[in-house]
Amino acid sequence: FYLNGERFKLISGSIHYFRVPPDYWQDRLVKLKNMGCNTVETYIPWNGHEPHKGKFCFTGLYDVEAFVRLAQSRSEERRVGK
């Protein structure tokens, strides 16, 4: 894989954001990085985001936007501190 014209090896780990209290997301992202991962993967459990037809939940454990933004901010911190 090439990133910005340079060889880059993806080493991925998975975090199920909806199974981890939001207060621990940053800690888990740090631990993922400390294990040698440079990529985080997750999936979106639609049954949690739409528990009843037409009723949506994107808060608390299901705040996928907050999780992705946190992961993105951690990535940007690493690029600046490269």
24-82 pLDDT tens trace = 999 999 999 999 999 999 999 999 999 999 999 999 999 999 999 999 998 766 554 44
Q: Which long-range contacts (CB under 8 A, 24 or more apart) does 63-69 make?
A: 63/17, 63/22, 64/17, 66/22, 66/25, 67/15, 67/17, 67/22, 67/25, 67/42
Residue-level pLDDT at 61: 95
Q: Whole-angstrom Cα distance, residue 36 to residue 6?
A: 19
